[in-house]
Copies of this chain bind each other. A is one copy, B any other.
Amino acid sequence: MDSRFRGVFPPVVTALDADGNLDETSFERSINRMIDAGVNGLFVLGSSGEVAFSTDERRRQIIEAAVRIIDHRVPLLVGCIDTETKRVIEHARVAQALGADAIVATAPFYALGGQAEIERHFRLIHEAVDLPLFAYDIPVCVHTKLQADMLIRLGLDGVLTGVKDSSNDDVSFRFLVDSNKRAGHPLVLLTGQEVVVDGAYMAGADGSVPGLANVEASAYVRMWQAYENGDWSTVRKEQDFLADLMRIVLVPQGVQGYAAGVGAFKTAMALLGIFDTNQMPEPVLPLRGENVERIASVLKQAGLELKRNVEEVSASAHIHTL
């Protein structure tokens, strides 16, 4: 196992200004805040990093900014997410050229295939790009689940360095951890969850990739350290606090999916003064009014101090009228 990749690796939410451009100032503020909190690495261009919404130029901007800001303080993982192998390899080569420390790829999507194509996909990416490769298991987006035996085989063959598991299938994750242990622990296994990280640690995860760490990284760092020390009461206490906070994604009404989830993260970050706006990438609209109010209320209940009020945040983003 490559121990550089153990611990807390937040998927970095992308900061936009009201025109929809990358807001490097807010982006830097957020990244520094997470590094200062003690995260073990950062993951840009993940699902919550709006990779699917980002043009190739935008992806390049995000990587360049992250490389510059992070400046080797922690490892940088870059999501190279696209429909099929050759497109992914193009992204991976750009990421490598720009200074990524590792790349992250999902199973192919859009076209229909089977496990044989998925395995060949990862082997081809590994052959093409000389960087540690993480498999990103996210069936809710790509509509296939990565099979444990394939992942272990790719780990033993040196193709995969690790797995980011966002499958929301804790039973499979448990068996994957066990299989990995039996195989000599070739893979770094990171859970992509926010509110059941405690369970993943009980199972033996090597770390976590929680989107909520963009809002509150310290508690995830404390939970990780408690796990390393075998202090399960603290693990549980921190997870309880974070689960309360994660309700920000449940309270928005009249929206769904990305608009509610990443929309809530960005809104919380704007309320906390981390981001200047809660602008979302088209065609997703930013949260406003009562939905911002609901999120503010959760933050306050969790004891966080708001730097801006509901009206300011509601006015921070621009909605293009069609």
Chain A residues in the interface with B (C-beta under 8 A): 47, 50, 52-56, 58, 81-87, 90, 108-114, 116-118, 120-121, 123-124, 127, 140-143, 168-171, 174-175, 178, 193-196, 198-200, 202-203, 230, 232-233, 235-236, 239, 243-244, 247, 250, 255-259, 261, 281-285, 322
Alpha-carbon separation in the docked complex, A56 to B87 (Å): 8
CB of A147, distance to nearest CB on chain B (Å):
12
Pick the contact of A110 from B141, B250, B281, B283 — CB < 8 Å? B141
Query: 8 tightest CB-CB pairs across the interface, nearest first?
Result: A199-B199, A112-B257, A232-B232, A120-B283, A52-B83, A52-B110, A198-B202, A53-B84
CB of A122, distance to nearest CB on chain B (Å):
9
CB of A306, distance to nearest CB on chain B (Å):
22
CB of A294, distance to nearest CB on chain B (Å):
15
Specify which chain B residues have a CB less than 8 angstroms from the CB of A120 in the assembled complex: 282-283, 285, 322
Pick the contact of A178 from B56, B243, B257 — CB < 8 Å? B243
Q: Is the CB of A111 within 8 A of B258?
A: yes
Q: Is the CB of B84 within 8 A of A110?
A: no
Known: A193-B171, A259-B117. A87 touches B55 (CB 8 A): yes
Specify which chain B residues have a CB less than 8 angstroms from the CB of A256 in the assembled complex: 112-114
Alpha-carbon separation in the docked complex, A198 to B120 (Å): 36
Q: Is the CB of B109 within 8 A of A110?
A: yes
Q: Is the CB of A141 within 8 A of B111?
A: yes
Known: A52-B110, A124-B322, A127-B322. 4 other contacts (CB 8 A): A53-B83, A120-B283, A168-B169, A198-B199
Alpha-carbon separation in the docked complex, A206 to B111 (Å): 26
Specify which chain B residues have a CB less than 8 angstroms from the CB of A174 in the assembled complex: 195-196, 243
CB of A84, distance to nearest CB on chain B (Å):
4
Selected A-B contacts with CB under 8 Å, 27 pairs: A47-B110, A52-B110, A52-B111, A53-B83, A53-B87, A54-B86, A55-B86, A84-B282, A84-B283, A108-B283, A110-B141, A111-B257, A111-B258, A113-B284, A114-B255, A114-B256, A117-B283, A120-B285, A121-B283, A124-B322, A171-B194, A175-B250, A178-B243, A196-B203, A199-B199, A202-B235, A232-B232
